Chains A and B, each alone.
Chain A
Amino acid sequence: MSEDPAPAPHDAALVARAQSGDRAAFEELVRLHADRLHAVVLRLVDDPHEAEEATQEAFLRAWRSIGRFKGDSQFFTWLYRIGVNEAHRLTSRRTRGGRTVALDEQTVQPADPRPGPAARVQQGDLRTALENAIRALDHDYRAPLVLRDIEGLSTAEAARAMGLGEAAFKSRLHRARLAVREAVRDHLPEGPDE
């Protein structure tokens, strides 16, 4: 179900050149990956200005430390990890209470410290409910969902982009999905008749 961006061998050649200081090669990596990384970051930070800033910062960090990329994972996984960390730095600076609210298996609705509409939105349509449900998730649960279910990374790649083992990643993903499902199930089209 996952779709990868540019083919790996192409990336590998560009990375090798960038590691020897070839700026043009790195700029080509920017062209290949920036928009997709930006889409991910935007879903994590919500604010377009912060998303632009975080994306730029991520590529800067990647450029400065490309010598440390060992090639034991795909380049874009390494890049996404930098981007996800940048997004987290930005959001944890905000007055959100800071600590991740653990999603208990019994409590499928995450506690939302922000004032405003309840997580279970009855307004409008599926799309609105979905977007609100995603925004109600803290970073630690939102990021796995965005990487795996919206961007379509494989479980392995998404886990690596989070810096998590697969078991821990799957657990977070499952709870995030349950929370979103709770918020949108009224808006899903009717299922089969029992």
Chain B
Amino acid sequence: MMRAMLRHPLQFMADHRFTLAHASEFLDGDLDAPQQSRVERHAHLCPKCAELLASLRGTVTALAGLRQARSRPDTDDVAGGVIARLRADDIDDDAPP
């Protein structure tokens, strides 16, 4: 990291600011290919940004974990006021990586 910083300090700082500003878009896949590469390259050189991206991704994953079971409409049976709640089993946590 030091070598990259010292060799191209302006580029490094520019990439650093870019990464900080666009970290969320990077995680959401909203950057175009060159921008995405720019962030990836910088994260390999910058431990702070690597940590930021990792913890931001962990945060977003944790937030998604708060999602409650969705009510799914049972379109064949709409009698009564309460529809059956079908628990969406959307991830198998026991699956090995």
Contact = CB atoms under 8 A, between A and B. Distances in A.
Asked whether A and B interact, the reply is yes
Contacts, number: 75
**5 pairs of A and B residues whose beta carbons are closest in the complex:** A174-B24, A149-B63, A181-B59, A188-B58, A35-B71
Contact of B54 (A5, A6, A174, A191): A191
Interface in A145-194: 145, 149-152, 155, 170, 173-174, 177-178, 180-181, 184-185, 188-189, 191-192, 194
A91 to B, nearest CB: 19
B79 to A, nearest CB: 10
A2 to B, nearest CB: 10
Interface of A: 1, 3, 5-6, 10, 28, 31-32, 35-36, 39, 105, 126, 130-131, 145, 149-152, 155, 170, 173-174, 177-178, 180-181, 184-185, 188-189, 191-192, 194
Contacts of B54: 191-192
Nearest to A185: B55
A180 B73 contact: no
Given A155-B30, A173-B24, A189-B58, A31 B83 contact: yes
B20 A105 contact: yes
Interface residues of B, number: 31
B62 A126 contact: yes
B3 interface: no
Given A174-B23, A184-B62, A3 B56 contact: no
Contacts of B64: 1, 149-150, 152
